[in-house]
Amino acid sequence: MSRKKISTTVYITPEQNEALHLLHDRTKVPVAVYIREGIDLVLKQYADQLPGQLSLTDTAPAKKKR
């Protein structure tokens, strides 16, 4: 089942646009799918910088000494 999508505007370079459309022409996968996959990759790469809930085995971050 597909989840609800939120519309947003993203500015890309002409080169990115051309490459995405060439990829679409060859695979028939919508450009929007590739953009969402790219966002997922970035979010995964920077997951340690996103807020989240600690598990029971995680320890609280050490406080910085001044």
pLDDT in tens for each of the 66 residues of the chain?
578 999 999 999 999 999 999 999 999 999 999 999 999 999 999 998 888 866 677 666 666 666
User: What SS3 state is found at 40?
Assistant: helix
Calculate the CA dihedral of residues 32, 10, 2, 19 and round it to 10 degrees. Answer: 10
Distance CA 65, CA 13 (A): 44
Distance CA 66, CA 63 (A): 9
